[in-house]
């Protein structure tokens, strides 16, 4: 017997360089033995040096992809990444409600590491209004949490205050990633509305961190698809990203991708 086949859908942008976006999500799902499906919101021409072009798909094209997957392949968990525009956010929010998807991981992607915008400035409000209340898990990095809460985040206390605000905005579980913090120790936090949980790790000294956020959120999504709790899911995601950054592939001449093969359950 093959056993149960777990399925996850990612609604995100394509990274031609293979390290972030849809490609990172599918590789991560696969490594965690979850069948990956995708709805592409935008195609980016991208490599380890940066983003050379952004080509959003039409709202109709995205709607068709989501419908095709939903009616035939019922995902156990859904992840959203680069959504780019207000119209796309409204469509995706509408589809999540239409199909009553509950295990939804929202990675509020805003800018690529090199600074290229992956979300239009005027779409932030739509993300706050339409996506946060649908997020079972929200996975902001520190700059994204600052934009969503409109506050400065420097200390660990401020991170916790921001997590509380995001919870008040409708998010069930807030997972704030600590990659942009300071110091050798890296702290990712989880807030469940009552308590804070912390995952600490050693910051690896490397420039090859392209796609860390996507990979981390995809690992959470894969674990949720398998029916794991949020605590178990973050635990696996944290271990997944740690070895993926430790054992990078050293490809490309800029900020290289993480190693999606490194982690074994």
Ligand X SMILES: Nc1ncnc2c1ncn2[C@@H]1O[C@H](COP(=O)(O)OP(=O)(O)O)[C@@H](O)[C@H]1O
Ligand Y SMILES: Cc1ncc(COP(=O)(O)O)c(N)n1
> Contact between 18 and ligand Y (CB under 6 A)?
no
What does 210 bind: ligand X, ligand Y, none (CB cut-off 5 to 8 Å by kind)?
A: ligand Y
C-alpha to C-alpha distance for 157 and 173, rounded to whole angstroms: 18
- Across the beta sheet with 7-15, the strand order is 50-56, 35-47, 7-15, 77-80, 104-106, 137-138, 173-176, 185-191, 196-202
Q: Could you say whether residue 25 binds ligand Y (CB under 6 A)?
A: no
Among 70, 82, 92, 222, binds ligand Y (CB under 6 A): 82
> What CA–CA distance (Å, rounded) separates 222 from 204?
24
From the list ligand X, ligand Y, none, partner contacted by residue 103 (C-beta under 5 to 8 A by kind)? none
For residues 233 and 224, is the Cβ–Cβ distance under 8 A? yes
Interface residue with ligand Y among 10, 15, 144, 242 (CB under 6 A) is 15
Nearest to 134 by CA among 69, 187, 191, 90: 90
For residues 216 and 177, what is the distance between their CA atoms, to the nearest angstrom?
9
Known catalytic membership, residue 177: yes
- Pick what 245 binds: ligand X, ligand Y, none; C-beta below 5 to 8 Å, kind-dependent: ligand X
User: C-beta of 246: minimal distance to ligand X in Å?
Assistant: 8
The residue (of 21 and 75) whose beta carbon lies closer to ligand X is 21
| Shortest Cβ 1–ligand X spacing (Å) | 35
Catalytic residue flag (residue 212)? yes
Which pair of tokens denotes residue 57? 């798909």
Which residue, 213 or 256, has its beta carbon nearer to ligand X?
213
Query: What does the alpha-carbon distance between residue 107 and residue 124 come to, in Å, rounded to a whole number?
Result: 13
Strand pairing category for 196-202 and 185-191:
antiparallel
Q: What is the CA radius of gyration of the chain?
A: 17
The partner in contact with residue 13, picked from ligand Y, ligand X, none with C-beta cut-offs of 5 to 8 angstroms by kind, is ligand Y
Question: Pick the catalytic residue: 41, 209, 215, 221?
Answer: 209
- The structure tokens listed for 112 are 């690529």
The item of ligand Y, ligand X, none sharing an interface with residue 204, based on CB under 5 to 8 Å by kind, is ligand X
Exactly one of 38, 65, 212, 221 binds ligand Y (CB under 6 A); that residue is 212
CB under 8 Å to 130, separation ≥6 — which residues? 89, 90, 93
The distance of closest approach from Cβ of residue 105 to ligand X in the complex, given in angstroms and rounded to an integer, is 13
Name the residues annotated as catalytic: 177, 209, 211-214
Which residues contact ligand Y by CB under 6 A? 12-13, 15, 20-21, 44, 46, 81-82, 109, 112-113, 118, 210-214
């Amino acid at each position: 017997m093959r056993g149960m086949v777990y399925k996850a859908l990612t609604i995100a942008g394509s990274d031609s360089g293979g390290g972030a976006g849809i490609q990172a999500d599918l590789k991560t799902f696969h490594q965690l033995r979850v069948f990956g499906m995708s709805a592409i919101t935008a195609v980016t021409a991208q490599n380890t040096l940066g983003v050379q072009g952004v080509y959003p798909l039409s709202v109709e094209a995205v709607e068709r992809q989501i419908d095709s997957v939903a009616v035939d392949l019922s995902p156990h968990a859904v992840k959203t990444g680069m959504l780019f525009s207000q119209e796309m956010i409204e469509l995706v929010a509408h589809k999540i409600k239409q199909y009553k998807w509950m295990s939804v991981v929202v990675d509020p992607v805003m800018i690529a590491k090199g600074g290229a915008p992956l979300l239009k400035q005027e779409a932030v409000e739509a993300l706050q209004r339409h996506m946060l209340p649908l997020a079972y898990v929200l996975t902001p990095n520190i700059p994204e949490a600052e934009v969503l809460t409109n506050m400065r985040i420097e200390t660990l206390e401020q991170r916790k205050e921001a997590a509380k605000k995001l919870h008040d905005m409708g998010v069930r579980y807030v997972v704030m990633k600590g990659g942009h913090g300071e110091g050798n120790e890296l702290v990712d936090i989880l807030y469940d509305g009552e308590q804070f949980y912390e995952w600490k790790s050693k910051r690896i000294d490397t420039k090859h961190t392209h796609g860390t956020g996507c990979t981390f959120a995809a690992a959470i999504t894969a674990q949720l698809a398998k029916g794991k709790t949020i605590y178990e899911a973050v635990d696996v995601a944290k271990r997944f990203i740690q070895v993926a950054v430790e054992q990078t592939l050293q490809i490309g001449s800029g900020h290289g991708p993480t190693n999606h093969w490194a982690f074994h359950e």
